[in-house]
Amino acid sequence: MIKVSNLYKSFGEVEAVKGISFEVRDGEITGLLGPNGAGKTTTLRMLYSLLPPDKGEIRIDGLDPTKDAMAIKRTLGVVPDSRGLYTRMSARENIAYYGKLHGMTARDIKSRVEELVETLDMADFIERRTEGFSQGQRVKVAIARAMVHKPQTVLLDEPSNGLDVMSTRALRRYILGLKDAGHSVIISTHIMQEVAALCDRIIIIANGQIAADGSAQQLLEKSGCESIEDAFVRLIGTEEGLLA
């Protein structure tokens, strides 16, 4: 359960987020949809307590990221925009490192990695050093290390960036599986199909503000359009950023 109210954040002259409020319910997949530079990543960074908001309030399961950063980090699983891996370490070691930083025991880490290898289909490359991994393999390792501590809430920033069709479909199946297991999931993306295929709720962000909030059906009704894509363009009032 995430509650965000009236969030502001600026970097110098640039106002990245200007008064965003929304709610994310457990057991749902919520999509943050918006053109590049709309403020999605900044909003997520404030959620996972990497950036302090200038103004406004965030509550994740009742916890405040500015005060209980450590507790929040334990309940969150985050796949951020940057998914750098340590190339001199194997996929397993990359995942285990994060497990250790979460304070897990070696035995817990081992059994958890086995589970993740199974669900994410990583058996082929789990023992290999991550140097030269394909995008798909890298995303899998990045997801696995974010999920190693079994977080209740999962944040994914542009998870399908750079993935081919097969990997994207596998990723979507995995995200749907998370929802079925009762996790709440937030995805930030600028890809329409992703939102349509996955999300129970769509929050459209443009210019650091919420342009619309609701289910796919509600957005279509509100905009009077036939497709999500048209609705998106209508709701944010510009085509800027869509082609990027």
Partner 1 sequence: MRGLVNVYKKEVRENLRDRRSLFNSVLLGPILFPILFIGLAYFANSKQQESVEKVLEVPVVGARNAPNLVSFLEQQGVVIQPEPEDPEALVKSQEAQVIIRIPEEFAEQWKAGEPAVIELIADPSRRESNIPMQRARGLLNAYGGQIGHLRLQLRGVSPTLRTPIMVKDVDLSTPQSRGMLVMIMLPYVLMITAFTGGMHLAIDTTAGEKERKSLEPLLINPVPRWQIMLGKMCATATYAFTSLVLTLIAFRFAFPLLPTGALGVDLNLSGAAIGGILLAIAPVVILAAAMLTTLAALAKSLREAQSYMGLIFLIPMIPSLIFMVNPMKPETWMMAIPMFSQNLLIGEFVRGESVSTLWLGLSLGSTLILGLGFAAVAASLFNRPRVVFSN
**Which single residue is written with the structure tokens 């289910």?**
215
**Stretch (H or E) spanning 206:** strand 201-206
Cβ–Cβ under 8 Å, residues 164 and 172: no
**Stretch (H or E) spanning 33:** strand 29-33
Q: Provide the sign of the torsion angle of the four alpha carbons 175, 176, 177, 180, taken in this order.
A: positive
Instruction: With contacts defined by CB under 8 A, name the span among 16-24, 73-81, 171-179, 229-237 that binds partner 1.
Output: 73-81
Smallest gap from residue 126 Cβ to partner 1 (A)? 18
Tell whether residue 83 is a contact of partner 1 (CB under 8 A). yes
Which one, of 140, 145, 176, lies nearest residue 159 by Cα?
Answer: 140
Which of 85, 95, 144, 186 is close enough to bind partner 1 by CB under 8 A? 85
Tell whether residue 78 is a contact of partner 1 (CB under 8 A). yes
Tell whether residue 48 is a contact of partner 1 (CB under 8 A). yes
Which of 1, 50, 170, 196 is close enough to bind partner 1 by CB under 8 A? 50
Which of 18, 59, 74, 128 is close enough to bind partner 1 by CB under 8 A? 74
DSSP per-residue letters across 98-153: HHHHTT--HHHHHHHHHHHHHHHT-TTTTTSBSTT--HHHHHHHHHHHHHTT--SE
The interface mask with partner 1, positions 137-156, x = CB under 8 A, is -----x--xx----------
Tell whether residue 84 is a contact of partner 1 (CB under 8 A). yes
Residues at the contact surface with partner 1, assessed by CB under 8 A: 11, 48, 50-51, 70-71, 73-74, 76, 78-89, 97-98, 100-103, 142, 145-146
